[in-house]
Amino acid sequence: MAFGVSLAVFALVHLSGDPVLLMVPTDAPPEVVAETRRALGFDRPLPEQFARWIARAVQGDLGVSLRNHRPVAGLIAERMPATVELTVAALVIAVLVAVPAGIVSAVNRGTWIDSLTMVGAVAGQALPVFWLALLLIAFFGVHLRWLPVYGHGTLAHLVLPAVSLSTIVLGRLARLVRSSMLEVLGQDYVRTARAKGLAEPRVLAIHALRNAAIPVVTVLGLQFAQLLGGAVVTETIFAWPGVGRLVVEAIFNRDFPIVQGVVLVVSLIFVVVNLLVDVAYVVIDPRIRVARA
Amino acid sequence: MKHAGLPFWLAVGALLVVVLGAAFAERLAPFGPGEQDITQRLQPPALRGHVLGTDELGRDILSRLLYGGRVSLLVGLIAVGLSCPVGMLVGVTAGYAGRRVDDVLMRVTEVQLAIPTILLAIAVIGVLGPGLSNVILTLTVTGWTLYARLIRGETLAVKERDYVVAARAAGAGDLRIMGRHVIPNVLSPVIVVAVFAVANMIILEATLSFLGLGVEPQVVTWGRMLNAGRLYLATAWWLMTFPGLAIFVTVLSVNLIGDHLRDWLDPRLRRSLL
Amino acid sequence: MPTRRAVLKGAAAAATVGALAPGVTRAQARKPVLTIALPSTPETIDPHQFRSVLSGSIINLMGEGLLTRDPNTMELKPLLAESWRNVSPTMWEFKLRRGVKFHNGEEFSAECVKFSIDRIVKSKLNTLGKLTWPPAFGQETQIVDPHTVRFTTKVPDPMVPARLAAESMTMSPARGLAEYGERFVTDRFIGTGPYRFVEHVVGDRVVVEANAGYWGAKPPTPRIVWQVIPDAATRVAALQRGDVDVILNLPLPLVPAVETSPNARVYSELSSLVSVVLLNTKESPALRDRRVRQALNMAVDRPAIIKNLFGGRARLLNGAAGPAVSNGFDPGPYPYDPVKAKQLLAEAGHPNGLELTFWQSLGRWTQAEEIAQVLAGYWEKIGVRTKLQVLEWAEYIKRAGGSLFKDAFYYSFINATWDASYILQRFKPSFASFRYYDASGDLLKTIEEYDQAFDPKRRRELGMKAQQGVREEAVWVFLWQLDELMGVSKKVKGFKMRADNFIWARDTYVEA
């Protein structure tokens, strides 16, 4: 599957424009342009270029950036941890907020608590991330001076970007938790447990949560990819040294090797995350043998 | 409808205002959306004249809000209107046509799902260039996978239902079965997803604008207004606030309505991946 | 009454303390790190590969050329060369400074000059220097002795010292970078400058620290961090918080935020970038007529735009090269006269106006979109129905340079040799890119003569004539030169932007 992704992106990126003209001075004579093209191998037919790239990629050589001539693998290795850190932090925040919100909503279904919580959760998704980020910077960064507004290093640097990013998935997650819980709470075995006289919190915790967790875990896996994408905007605003910014700049600069390398790595991560999700299924309830739908 | 309380009706009302405003922009807007007068730029909201103020080129914000709403909504609706049938087609075919076709189609879907939407959008616009039609195309291309997976799952379930089996036994052709039996039954979850998708498209358009990949300068959308106002947050808050509010209210309303729609149409749908 | 001995002893002690004290007290009074926030990545730290003024500014701290320009007067000043003379129209001789060492300990000598110039001009690498000193001149570097070089060219070149003062002509060590004659350097920088390379985290920052062995005046700040913060609002927020000391590319709308900040102020200098609208006279029949081009010039109320859109922070540009560069000249503005403009259009055969496609790039220039819309608005008023198209920069520059834009597009030119010729050479049919207008007849002759003239007076005369001619021809829609706006902490001293947009950070320090 990673192969398929790489192929698609390779084709797309190469169709998008000629990087050679970007790399030479704007007034360069045609011989210089042709020479550069030859030196980089761009005059070979596309399939050949792709084959060579794949062959090298398998050995860990993702090529060299067209713009600054550094090895792509090194660039990605340098920047990936920061993005993962941001994405995981955003996911953690989203879960920490959405799960209680969803549970509270489900348990108090139909009341104003339910409505308010859901509206609140959804509200976060009704704003483009960059606007929220701007407001957070203006308020917490400049006005209150509590938190730094750019860069990477301490936990304090992580707060604003992670909070901004978490809003992308928060609403959906909260809604999902709520509906999962509602469904589970209405199930027979829960009623049975209640009838048996088990304490309510226990009912919730053991039976309801566990079953409600399944769709949530599934969605987490999918949302990870969305978060990686949303990180692009967040990384730009907060000058977060991650891979999202790297790849956006690379696309604008027609820096193919970086784009291909990042997409390959990201899709590999995605595959890994999906595997983890499948494992989590089994862990949450060994009885469930879910065919991957 | 279950607990269709105040929030729901507020949402319906708000959406109605937005849609009517967009539909009747010509009649409601006091100025043209492109009427610029740089000597009148950055005027704050006033009781007479420019009720919501003017932007960085002296254009009336209220008028731009109305015309912009039209484009923003249309972009969302058209993108969904295009991506939904495509996704449904892929999904139904995958679910109905058998293992091999299913595998191939699902591979393609997964491949695309593995690429974060924004990256795909940037790459596509990078190829096509910015502009209104390209934005719609991009949103369509990134959006169809949502429906494909959903419909495939539902199709798989419906496929084994009695009426379908009966129809097949009676010798009905595959296309007929798909058209008459499968699709009507999978329509409900699709509608819900589509509703939410419209809201997401509006946000996505704003994000594309932020990255410089939005519509042409002479086309006004809320996303474009929001971005143009970014630098004026401290000095001319009205540039960003009103389009931001418009987006916020619209997306929120659509989401709330979608929620209730889902609850109403089929409680079973909660299992769907939304 | 102190004894003579005591006085002398005291004087000696004072002198010793005095010798130590400036270092001690200065270090106490200054911050050890100067942080400058930039909007975008320096693309490379290869000494000859960089593409932007910004990258050049950073590299300028670590590497030096034979000449430089004074940050205040733009006068040519000796740097690694002590003196130079013009031997013949095709030969220049340079005497090199002695006792200069590279960061790797290598001695600077004529060998290094030859290595560097060959790398810039003759190698297969795409160096910015090939633009500053085109290989068409057929340069040859001759080592006369370890501290004397001679440059010979196939055609007379009066501009050699000006070219060598450009930041793209950095001197590199012949031995230290010997394997990089045809390869890019990505992980180190070896130069002679007052700062040495520490690290370059691509897309995030470049860090340099003071070079203890520098041949010249010791730099006042031990360490400079060039930090990338892409978003302008975040940059300003960082300045307001005091997390950074200087921010570059301050957009006009954010100026009030800096002005009202208690710990920072706005620093502005006139940018050398000449902003114009290029008109494709080769593809558009309408634009081939000079009257149409003149009409486009007269339709725009530039003073109003400068007042309202730029808050007065700009200067009218009436000629191709602007008045600040050597032999630059202001030939007088086209008046704002939409009536006359319409008349001209009618005379040229367009009484009902015409269609025009106008291209702009977003994200590259501040207020780009506003500018495009305003210009379109003015042209619409004289009947030129303008269709606005935007492109992101990568594609934009490709089409611009490749002469692919039909009709009109916005652009801002730098001036790397700080001479009117840098701009005027674009109108010669032999110029390699941006082929939108070919000078001919008298104008072409003037430009060619100017290129070869050595006598300063003659150069000025010809330059004026050429620029006047270009203005008459209304080759472009002449617009303006904007102020370059930056935010500087009030504690920063000695920070300057040179007239050609290069950041002069050598003398900058931050009071603690």
* CB B115, CB A263: distance < 8 Å: yes
Which residue in the set B36, B213, B236 is minimally distant from C374, CB to CB?
Answer: B36
Q: Judge whether B42 lies within some domain.
A: no
Give the pLDDT band of residue C379 (cuts 50, 70, 90).
very high
Q: What is the pLDDT of residue C17?
A: 45
Give the pLDDT band of residue B273 (cuts 50, 70, 90).
very low
Q: Is the ipTM of this complex over 0.85?
A: no
What are C169's two structure tokens? 């002509």
Q: Judge whether B5 lies within some domain.
A: no
Q: At what angle do helices A256-284 and A2-15 cross, to 10 degrees?
A: 150
> Would the CB atoms of C398 and A22 count as touching at under 8 Å?
yes
Portion of chain B with pLDDT greater than 90, in percent: 27
Does the beta carbon of B180 lie under 8 angstroms from any beta carbon of chain A?
no
What is the bridge-based pairing of β-strands C476-489 and C246-247? antiparallel
Q: Judge whether B113 lies within some domain.
A: yes
Q: Enter the CATH code of domain A79-292.
A: 1.10.3720.10
> Would the CB atoms of C402 and A238 count as touching at under 8 Å?
no
> Would the CB atoms of A128 and B226 count as touching at under 8 Å?
yes
d(CA C503, CA C501): 6
What secondary structure, in 3-state letters, does C427-492 show?
Answer: HCCCCCCCCCCCCCHHHHHHHHHHHHCCCHHHHHHHHHHHHHHHHHCCCEEEEEEEEEEEEEECCE
CB neighbour class for A255 (10 Å; exposed up to 12, middle 13-18, buried from 19): buried
Q: Judge whether B122 lies within some domain.
A: yes
Q: Which of A112, A131, A182, A260 to mutate to test the interface with B (most CBs of B within 10 A)?
A: A131
Q: Mean pLDDT over residues C80-90, rounded?
A: 94
d(CA A6, CA B253): 39
Which residue in the set C232, C387, C391 is minimally distant from B231, CB to CB?
Answer: C232
What are B241's two structure tokens? 């606030």
Distances (CA, A) of C480 to A226, C274, C355, C415: 44, 6, 24, 15
Neighbours of C14 (CB within 10 A): 11
Name the C residues in 131-160 with CB < 8 Å from any A CB. Answer: 131
Which residues in chain B have their CB less than 8 angstroms from residue A164's CB?
none
DSSP letters, A166-212, are: HHHHHHHHHHHHHHHHHHHHTSHHHHHHHHTT--HHHIIIIIIIHHH
CATH number for the domain spanning B242: value is: 1.10.3720.10
Which residues in chain C have their CB less than 8 angstroms from residue A36's CB?
126
d(CA C221, CA C112): 28
Q: Is the pLDDT at B274 greater than 50, yes or no?
A: no
Whole-model pTM: value is 0.86
Neighbours of C11 (CB within 10 A): 11
Which residue in the set C43, C238, C241 is minimally distant from A68, CB to CB?
Answer: C43
Scanning the structure block, which residue is given the tokens 């798989």?
B156
Pick out chain A residues at pLDDT < 70.
1-6, 9, 11-33, 35-36, 39-41, 187-194, 197-208, 211-212, 284-293
Q: Which helix (H) or strand (E) holds B54?
A: none
> Would the CB atoms of A141 and C241 count as touching at under 8 Å?
yes
* CB B139, CB B74: distance < 8 Å: no
Q: Judge whether B78 lies within some domain.
A: yes
CA distance A259 to chain B (A): 9
Collapsing DSSP states into helix, strand and coil, what is residue C329? coil
Which residues in chain A have their CB less than 8 angstroms from residue B244's CB?
127, 131
Backbone dihedral region of C440: left (phi > 0), alpha (psi from -120 to 50 degrees) or beta? beta
DSSP letters, A235-277, are: HHHTT--SHHHHHHHHHHTT-HHHHHHHHHHHHHHHHHHHHHH
What are B231's two structure tokens? 């630098």
Name, in order, each residue with C-beta under 8 angstroms of C129's C-beta and a sequence gap of 6 or more: C48, C120, C121, C166, C168, C169
Q: Is the pLDDT at B93 greater than 80, yes or no?
A: yes
Give residue limits of the domains in chain A: 2-58, 79-292
Scanning the structure block, which residue is given the tokens 């989203």?
A94
> Would the CB atoms of C243 and A149 count as touching at under 8 Å?
yes
Does the beta carbon of B1 lie under 8 angstroms from any beta carbon of chain A?
no
> Would the CB atoms of B206 and A138 count as touching at under 8 Å?
no
Closest residue, chain C, to B211 (C-alpha):
C363
Range of the structural domain that residue B80 is part of = 15-34+49-269
Number of domains in chain B: 1
φ, ψ at B170 (rounded to 5°): -70, -5
**CA angle, residues C250, C299, C350, in degrees to nearest 5:** 140
Q: Judge whether B23 lies within some domain.
A: yes
What secondary structure, in 3-state letters, does B101-149 show?
Answer: HHHHHHHHHHHHHHCCHHHHHHHHHHHHCCCHHHHHHHHHHHHHHHHHH
Q: Mean pLDDT over residues C191-205, rounded?
A: 92
> Would the CB atoms of A232 and B5 count as touching at under 8 Å?
no
Q: What would the pLDDT profile of B233-272 be if each residue is shown by its tens digit?
A: 888 999 999 999 999 999 999 988 888 887 777 655 444 4
